[in-house]
Every structure is written in structure tokens, then in C-alpha cells.
Amino acid sequence: MWYTECGPMGDVVLSSRVRLARNIKEIPFSSRMTEEQRAQVVQSCKAAVVDGNSALKDSMKFFDLDNMETSDKQALAECHILSPQMADGKQKHRGLLLSDDQKTSILINEEDHVRIQCMAAGFDLENCLKQAERVDDILEEELTFGFDERFGYLTCCPTNVGTGLRASVMVHLPALVMNNGMERIISSLSRLGMTVRGIYGEGSKALGNIFQISNQVTLGVTEEETVQKLTRLVQEVVDTERELRKKLFDANKIALQDRIMRSYGVLTNAVSLSSEETMRMLSDVRLGVNLEIISTLTAEQVNDMMYRILPANIVKHYNLQSAADRDLKRAEIIKEIVKA
């Protein structure tokens, strides 16, 4: 799948995403909707994409989240298609429109009526924005979104009002973490209108030294300006991470090799592995692949492991409900990929 690929600047940037928040005019925000209105939003969005003559009809499928197993929803959240809140939520009348390649999705009745998401491997915000705007235009052929001439698109949360755009980039920053440089980066980006979060967004941990960098400002700027600014700032973070990797390697090659190969040794020989310790060691291994310390694996294989070993993905594919059984299977999965 696309999220295991290595795109542009794939040594540091895992993926790019652009999300547009929209709400249907004359229907209350999600916090004030009735059950009937929630059902109406789902039906209207589904009809606009797959039931008519939409340009998206042949490439997207509708999924009723009310009838989807919790483990399947959580697996989609682990792949960043659903938000963790949407995957765990008990509220009825929620839907997902998902493209065949899983790069484009439309979340129905999350925080807003509609959330358009376009994702790509590596550093590719510009194309994500183009695709998101294309989907937005297609939806607006059938739906009328709430828009104010002064404020822009109206959203449930005031912090999204304006463009309704959240652009984000997932980055792997092991050298910055090793050098205790993340606090400075987070502070610097915050002053420039950006935010840094963990792997699954607000309130989540940076498992495997993976962080999300995204814009905070949506009012008074255009979509293009937001993406251009984020692109420039992420490029600076990438340059800093690459420079620190080289310094680490040059300053103490033996210690770095030892750390990376110890992680590789544990991963390839352990009988049982928790998801958190596996992600921590996969971070070392991914760094080792990019520094050419490890030649028996590709970055794509490491990316694949980072998704396949996550709890809900193991539940979905192997129906293992206990944490102990999942830990055993996780170790097996690592060995299978390494041997392949």
C-alpha cells in the first residue's frame, strides 16, 4: 500500500497529508445535530460521490462505519485514514468514502460534516492539495457548504475557520531526538504558526521517533500560502535532521552502529515483542538502512513493518485478541519480512 512506499525525501519524510473541513449549509454542526440530520449528511455525501454520475464514482467506495468491526476501524486509524476519535467513537451515522488506492478519503460526520483527506508517500504536499481541491470541487457540484464572505468556510471548531485546511507531514527524526533537539524545534515551529504532535496527532506519543508537523493558522491565509510555508519549514527540519545524522555517524560511528545492530538483533531474534518497543527499535533500524549500516533491508520493508506490527492491524489480520498473543505474532511478522 502507498504508506509503505518511500516517496520524495523518504529518508526523513514518511508521508504528506492535506485535509479540508467542510459543513453542509443549513444543517447544524455535529455537536447540535439530531440523529435524522446525521443520517441525512451521510446519505447526501454518499449520493454526491457514488450514487450519481460523479467523477469519483468509479474510484471510491462507501463504508458504513456503524456496521464496521471496531478492530477494522482501529486498523484504518493506524494507517491514518480514520482519526483515533472516529475509530473509537460510539456515535451513530458515520461514514467513510475511500479510494481504491487509499490515498483519498472523505470522512463523514467526524468533527465536521465532511473531511476530505488526500495523502501521499514522502514529501508531496503540493499534489495532495491539488487532489483535495479537486475532490472539494466535485462535492460542491452536489452539496452547498457553509461559507462566509468575511470568515471563509465555517467549521465546528473555530481554529479551522477560513480555509478549513490542515496540511501535515509525518517525519522520522531519530537524530534530533538523540541530540535532545526536539524541544527547540517544537518551540521554533510554534512561534511560526506550526504545531508538532505525535504519530497519531493531538495527545499521542511520538512512537518510533515519528512526529506530525502541521499548520495552526487557517484564517487570513490562502491554501497555497499555507502549503508553501509548511513546505519551507519542513525542508529546514529535514536538512537539520540529515546534518545531525551525518554528525552522529562521523563523531561516533562504532557507538551508533552498535545501537542500530543491537536493535536489529533483538528484532530478528526475539520471541515476543510489544508494539512500543518494536517501534523504538524499528526507528533505529530505519536509521541504519538510511545510513547504509544495514544492507539486508530496504526502507520500504521497514515502513511495512511499522504498520503491520501495530495492534489493530494484527487483530484484523490474525484475530488475536490478547496482548500476549499479539506480541508473539509481532515477533513472527518481523522475522517473516526480514527473511523475505
Is 330 annotated for ligand binding?
Answer: no
Buried residues in 31-48 as b, exposed as e (16+ CB within 10 A): eebeeebbbbbbebbbeb
Was 17 annotated as part of a binding site?
A: yes
For residue 316 the three cell numbers come to: 484484523
Residue position matching grid coordinates 473531511:
115
Is 279 known as a binding-site position?
no
**Any idea which residue has 526536539 for its cell?**
182
For residue 251, say whether it is annotated as part of any ligand binding site.
no
197 in a labelled binding site: yes
Contact between residue 115 and residue 21 where contact means Cβ atoms under 8 Å apart: yes
Find out whether 260 is annotated in a ligand binding site: no
The response to whether 200 counts as a known ligand-binding position is yes
The three cell numbers of residue 241 are 535532521
89 marked among binding-site residues: no
Q: Is 16 annotated as a binding residue?
A: yes
Strand order across the 104-108 sheet: 60-64, 95-99, 104-108, 114-121, 13-22, 165-172, 210-215, 194-197
Is 285 marked as a binding-site residue?
Answer: no
- 140: which residues sit within 8 A by CB, 6+ positions away? none
Enter the C-alpha cell of residue 65: 462505519
In angstroms and rounded to an integer, the radius of gyration of the C-alpha atoms of the chain is: 21
Q: Is 265 annotated as a binding residue?
A: no
Task: Find out whether 80 is annotated in a ligand binding site.
Answer: yes
Residues belonging to the binding site for ATP are 15-19, 80, 115, 166-170, 197-202
Residues belonging to the binding site are 15-19, 80, 115, 166-170, 197-202
